[in-house]
Structure 1
Amino acid sequence: MHRCLQVDEVVARICDKLSRRSALALALTNKALFEPAMDHCWRDLTSFWPLVSCLPEDLLEEEPVVEDSNRPSRMMHLRRMVSASDLQRYIITYARRIRSFRPHPHQAKHWLSNETLQAIQLVTGRQPGVLSPLLKTFQMPTPGKYQWYLHDGFANQLAPCMGLFVGPHVTSLEFTSLGDCHLYCHAIKSFTDTTNLKQLSIRAGREDFVQDYLTSFSWDHLQELTLYSGLFELQATDALMQHLSSLPQLTKLNMARIDLSELQEDQTAPSRDRFPALRHLVLSKVDVPRILQCLPPTNQVARLECHVTRGTTKDIITSIGAHCNPLTLKLLEIEELGATWPLFQEGTRDPEGLEPQHDEIGIEPLLKFHLQFVDIRVWNTIQVTPSQVERLISTWRSVKRIHLYSVGTTTRTPSIDHSHILAIASSCKSLKQLGLRFDASKITSETTAPSPGHPRLRRLYVGDSPIYSPSAVRGFLHAAFPSLKDIRYRSGCNWHIPIFKDRWKDVCGDDYQRTSWAQ
């Protein structure tokens, strides 16, 4: 055996690249490879079958539950009483290898009946996590998903038995609170151990339970919280937001489809001790300004991602300027829903209403931040002025990516031209991707680029920028940006000035990778 295979880390890396079947075959080839290969096989489980396969053959009998030619399901019932010796092989050899358990009905053909699981609970003395004592990640089975595969009685009664897998070492918990299954909700609350829990993801359906659940624990070690609603928006209360803002180690908060209309608007500045550790904020389909108002002036938010409805970006940018900390915010992403590139293929018609509205979006409030990544995708036109470029190159000097683009096309000529693009590239030494609509029609055969060029820029996004001479622009870009590999322009056929699109195609030619905005 090669010497490198005697290093545990090397063997573990090899196993990570193998399928479960291949890892099992590897475990059987050499005794020295057995442990790391079996660790890989058992690390991430999505069904009860590994446990079933370790139990004595005379302990269980199977019964068809769903007769489906594609995904037949079978329930494993007891033939006799369970003894501690029946579980010995599994617990000693395999249970401690499991790190992630995400049971899903579509991934499994065999299921342990509730009677079997309850019997195992009694035999093991209801010890939490006895079947996976070192489990780190657990996804609670959702009753609603099981009704298509198993009878409702099993789905509703399964939750209390999940304490067999959830022990004190769990650091990541995910569950859905849907429907009126009170037993399911009681089970979740009973085996929640906040000692080591660092990540929590909740899909909220029962508003009263979620509010009570989150405010019932201090969550002293929680670092990431994801809270999103299903069909009906969860209505956040002042008590809930007050509690979340007090979590001492919460570094990432992800909220989606949460109704904030009932929150009281506090006219005074938030207390300095609110959200003391928050660094990453992700907001989707929520009232972003209302959330930002909860942040103290000295907040430490470094990443802000907003996925919002059409026409709200202007107010959001204003709110960011008023409530985010210029000393800490480094990454900003704002995407209006549907503003994705390209929405259409060549030769297809753009949908009605694509043309941007007259209400333009400005970036003035963002120019006081020292941003390193800026990605704003909206429906309305983003207007950048020469004076704003001057401020941009002084405050965004460490920026690596600037994407400011609109889905729609417009006949209005941009206020900036190629000289401003050069100024940004020369001042922002780390810039690799630049997306700005600029007036390229001023580039002629007599226009010269500075020498040497700016070698760091790899991608240029031009949108529907006006252009007069493709050959002159191509020569200019060759000289100004010698490392440029990718030019992206607005796709779709419904340009207000279609000839611009054809000219940008000519600019790309065979020299550049011509791609759409979506890639």
Structure 2
Amino acid sequence: MEEGRHLDITGTELIDYVVSPPGLAFPEVTTLALGLPSPAAFAHLATWPKLTNLDVYRVVTPPNVGIPKSFPPVSPAANTFPALQVISCWYAVNLSDLVHILRLLPPGNEVHTVEWVCGSYPSPAEAKQVISAVARYCNPATLKHLKLSVFALSGTGFFSQQNEPLEMSPEEIDLAPLREFHSLEHLFIEVGVSVRVTPQVFEQVPSIWPRIQTLVLSAIFPNALTPLVNHEHILTLVDALPALCDLGLRFDASRVLGSERPAHLRSQLKVLRVGKSPICSPFRVTELLKGCFSEA
């Protein structure tokens, strides 16, 4: 149903009629909520001149088509997705389906928000592929919000936990491709693949992402390896990022005393997601959190 400049399309036959070339053109539509598109549909949507918000309910991958190991490089025309600012999807089959849209973004695009939630856990290779695509096709000057996650519900149906990993793969996602995205304010990566976090990475975060408010990096899945960062690194990072409100990652909490009280700690932290961090004394960790992060 079309209302003003907003268009909400559901129903397979109607979708095919609208998005299949030559398809219908909606030159005044700014916000499109679209259910069940195929990857090929995005090339047609990229021609809509005023489309700023693309909200996809679910991407339908053709039968018997697996996840491509690589996407052939393309050179988007300057007039593809000329006004797009927000890309979101809550029902994608695969994390890599996002790449079908990213490949069509023109250089210097104005996309500031990318949220992609998929129903299956990606392999480390697929997760790395998507991070590389974000770095290649998004604009470092405008991207502020990046969320990549898995939304798995128990039971049968589209979302299932049948392929939920018992623990994260030893392979890691390297965030180095995102180093140039200095405007990032929200970075949320929770896809069942470990993110490489070292003390050296922590030292660089304040200069790489000085405006970061949300930083969540694969905190919820168990991992046999002890994290390389500990509670002292957490305190140093929070002090260096006064805008940080939401932090989530695995860290070594086994040596927490509970009495740590850094002088003049600058912190607006309201949420600290300890996830599957190794903890020897929950009481000491609680005392640390209460003493250092009274708002959390």
Candidates 200, 218, 239, aligned match of 1:387: 200
CA offsets 1:158-189 (integer angstroms, 9 cap, x no match): xxxxxxxxxxxxx62xxxxxxxxxxxxxxxxx
CA offsets 1:385-441 (integer angstroms, 9 cap, x no match): 122212221122222222222442122111111222122211211111111111112
Whose helix proportion is higher, 1 or 2?
A: 1
Q: CA deviation at 1:213?
A: 8.6
- Partners of 2:50 and 2:166 lie apart in 1 by 43
Contact 1:200 1:224 in 2 (8 A): yes
Normalising by structure 1, what TM-score?
0.48
Contact 1:314 1:362 in 2 (8 A): yes
Q: CA deviation at 1:279?
A: 0.5
Contact 1:453 1:482 in 2 (8 A): no
Residue type at the aligned position of 1:465: S
- 1:310 maps onto 2:121 in alignment: yes
- 1:257 maps onto 2:59 in alignment: yes
Q: CA deviation at 1:208?
A: 4.5
Candidates 192, 195, 200, aligned match of 2:7: 200
Q: How many residues were matched structurally?
A: 271
Residue type at the aligned position of 2:48: L
- Partners of 1:208 and 1:478 lie apart in 2 by 55
Residue type at the aligned position of 2:198: T
- Partners of 2:294 and 2:42 lie apart in 1 by 51
Q: CA deviation at 1:464?
A: 1.5
- Partners of 1:385 and 1:455 lie apart in 2 by 21
Question: Per the alignment, do residues 248 and 464 of structure 1 end up closer, same or farther by CA in structure 2, a change over 3 Å counting?
Answer: same
RMSD over aligned CA atoms reads: 2.7
Equivalences for residues 339-488 of structure 1 within 5 A: 353-369=165-181, 370-444=183-257, 448-484=260-296
- Partners of 2:117 and 2:290 lie apart in 1 by 36
- Partners of 1:276 and 1:266 lie apart in 2 by 22
Q: Which residue in the other structure is 1:228 paired with? A: 35
Question: Per the alignment, do residues 280 and 214 of structure 1 end up closer, same or farther by CA in structure 2, a change over 3 Å counting?
Answer: farther
Segments of 5+ residues of structure 2 without an aligned counterpart are 66-70, 155-160
- Partners of 2:191 and 2:85 lie apart in 1 by 25
Q: Which residue in the other structure is 1:289 paired with? A: 99
Question: Per the alignment, do residues 357 and 380 of structure 1 end up closer, same or farther by CA in structure 2, a change over 3 Å counting?
Answer: same
Contact 1:453 1:481 in 2 (8 A): no
Normalising by structure 2, what TM-score?
0.80
Candidates 45, 62, 82, aligned match of 1:244: 45
Residue type at the aligned position of 1:291: I
Candidates 10, 14, 17, aligned match of 1:209: 17
Higher relative contact order (CA 8 A, sep 6+): 2
Q: Secondary structure at the match of 1:463?
A: coil
Residue type at the aligned position of 1:285: V
**Identity over the aligned pairs, expressed in percent?**
30
Q: CA deviation at 1:474?
A: 3.5
Question: Per the alignment, do residues 266 and 477 of structure 1 end up closer, same or farther by CA in structure 2, a change over 3 Å counting?
Answer: closer
Contact 1:279 1:303 in 2 (8 A): yes
Residue type at the aligned position of 2:235: L
- Partners of 1:235 and 1:463 lie apart in 2 by 35
Q: Secondary structure at the match of 2:274?
A: strand
Question: Per the alignment, do residues 212 and 417 of structure 1 end up closer, same or farther by CA in structure 2, a change over 3 Å counting?
Answer: closer
Structure with the greater alpha carbon radius of gyration: 1
Q: Secondary structure at the match of 2:235?
A: helix
Residue type at the aligned position of 1:434: L
Q: CA deviation at 1:331?
A: 0.7
Segments of 5+ residues of structure 1 without an aligned counterpart are 1-138, 140-170, 173-196, 344-349, 485-519
